Amino acid sequence: MSRSTPPPAAERSRRPPLGAQFRRLLGAVGAGNLGDGIAVVALPWYATTLTDDPFLVALVGAATRLPWLLFALVAGVVGDRVDRRRLMVAAGGAKALLLAALTAVAALGAGSIPLLVAMALLVGACEVFFDNTAQSVVPTVVRRSQLERANGLVQVVERVLNKFLGAPLAGMLLAVSTAWAFGAQAALILLAVVCLLSMRGNFRPGTDGEPRPPIRTMLAEGLVWLWLHPVLRPLAIVSGLSNMAAAMMGAVLVLFAQDVLKVGAQGYGLLMTVTAAGAVVGALVVPSFSGRVHPSTAMAVILAVLGATALLVGALHSIPVFVACYFLTGFVATWWNITLISLIQRLTPDRMRSRIFSAHRTLSWGLLSVGMGLGGALATALEGPLGREWALASPFLSAGLIGLALAAAPALVLTPRVIDPALADAEAETESGTEAGTRSRAENEPGGGSGAGTGEN
C-alpha cells in the first residue's frame, strides 16, 4: 500500500467526531426510547389487569399509535415555527407529568380502560412531537457528510434500548408493581429533558428573516411541497406500500408462529428478537458503506430482499428459514431507514424539515392499518379453500410479491437521474441559505451570536 493511501483504520480514526451536541441529543433519544420500550410491555399488561376483553386490550394498543395519524402534521408545522429543542423539552416535560399521574393511578388502584385509553392518546401525542422533532434536529448538530453515521447511531440506540433492554426491564419492574414500571418511564423521560436542556444554541428553523405564514398556510405548504417533489412523493408512496405489505404479515404473525411454525409463547418471544438483532447489526454496519451506495441502488436492493424473504417464509414454513429471513429483514429495514431519513434530511430545507417528516410519516404510515386489515381478511377468506396453514401463509406470499414489484420503482421513478439533480439543488439552496444567515448574523449581531445550534462537530 502506498504512503499516499492511508489504511481504512487510519481513515476512520481521522473522521471528525459527531460532537457534544449530538451526544446530548442521542442521550435524550436513548432515554426516551428506553422508556418507550418499557411502555410496549407495561401498558398492555396493565390493561389486562383491568379487563379480559381482547377488544378493549387491543383498543389501548391502538390508542398508542393513533396520535401519529391525528397529530403528526400539526407537530410538523409547530416544529417549523418554534425552537425545536424547546419543543422537545415541552413535549418531554408534558409526557413526564402524564406518566407521573399514571403512576399515581396505578399505585392507588384507580385505573380504568377509558382512563388508560385517554392517557395512551395523550402520552402518544407528546411522543409524536418529541420523536418527529428529534429527526429534524439531527442535521443541525452534525455535518451533512455525517448524516448516515449519525442516523446509524440513532438507529442503534433506538433498537437496543427500545427492543432489547426495554422489554426485560419492564418485566422486572412489573414483578414489583405496575406503578414502578410507569414511574421508571417518567424518570427516563425527565432524564431525556435534562439532556436536551444541556444543549446550547438556537434551534429555531431558518426562515431567511421572513415572517412565518399562518399555521394553515404552513400545513398546506408542507403537504404540497412534498407531493410536488420529484423524489419525496414517490418515496412516500413506495414507503407506504412497503409498510402495508409488512403490516399484512404482522396481522397474522402470531398465528403463523403458533399454527404453522408450531412454537409456544417462549419460542415466539425468541423469534421476535431475531428481527431486532438484525436491525442492531444493520445499524452498526450500514453506515460504513451506505454513503458509497447510491440511494436508488440501495432502495432497489432493499425492496428486493424484503420481497424475497417474505416469499421464502410464506413458502417454506421452516423455523431456520424464518430466523434467517427475519434477521435479514431487520438488517435491510435498518438500511432503508438510514437511507430514507438521510435522503429526506438532505433534500428538505431546514425551514420545512419538521413538516416534511410529519407529512411523509402520515402518508407512509397511513397504510399500516390498511395492511393489517388486508392481511387478516385474506387469511380468513382463504382458510376454507386452502386450509389454515396456507391461509396464514397467504399474507406473506402476497407481501413478497408486493415487495418484488416495488423493487422496480427505483428503476422507473427513483432513478439517479431524478435523485441527483434534486440533491444538487438542495445542496445549493443550503449553501445559499448558510451564506445569507451568516451575513444576517454579522449585520444584526456585531458582537457575535450563538450560531445556528450546530455546536461542536
| Cβ neighbours around 198 below 10 Å, total | 14
pLDDT tens profile 41-91: 788 778 878 887 756 776 776 677 778 778 888 888 888 888 889 999 999
Q: Which residue has the higher pLDDT, 236 or 252?
A: 236
Q: Is residue 244 part of a domain?
A: yes
Looking at the structure, tell me whether residues 383 and 427 fall in a common domain.
Answer: yes
Q: Is residue 9 part of a domain?
A: no
Which structural domain, as residue segments, surrounds residue 300? Answer: 220-440
Residues 6 or more apart whose CB falls under 8 angstroms from that of 78 comprise 87, 129, 354
- The domain total for the chain is 2
Claim: this prediction has a pTM higher than 0.75: no
Looking at the structure, tell me whether residues 304 and 387 fall in a common domain.
Answer: yes
- Using pLDDT thresholds of 50, 70 and 90, give the confidence band for residue 452: very low
Interhelix angle 367-386/353-365, rounded to 10 degrees, is 20
* Residue 354 vs residues 77, 90, 120, 243: alpha-carbon distances, Å: 7, 16, 23, 21
CA dist., res. 434 & res. 428, Å (int): 10
Q: Is residue 10 part of a domain?
A: no
Looking at the structure, tell me whether residues 299 and 413 fall in a common domain.
Answer: yes
CA angle 163–167–278, rounded 5-degree value: 25
pLDDT tens profile 255-284: 888 889 888 756 766 777 788 788 888 888
Looking at the structure, tell me whether residues 190 and 276 fall in a common domain.
Answer: no
Looking at the structure, tell me whether residues 69 and 113 fall in a common domain.
Answer: yes
Looking at the structure, tell me whether residues 127 and 240 fall in a common domain.
Answer: no
Let me know how long the chain is: 457
pLDDT tens profile 94-104: 999 999 999 99
pLDDT tens profile 294-318: 999 999 999 999 999 999 999 999 9
Q: Is residue 67 part of a domain?
A: yes
* Residue 63 vs residues 56, 60, 92, 118, 119: alpha-carbon distances, Å: 11, 5, 19, 8, 9
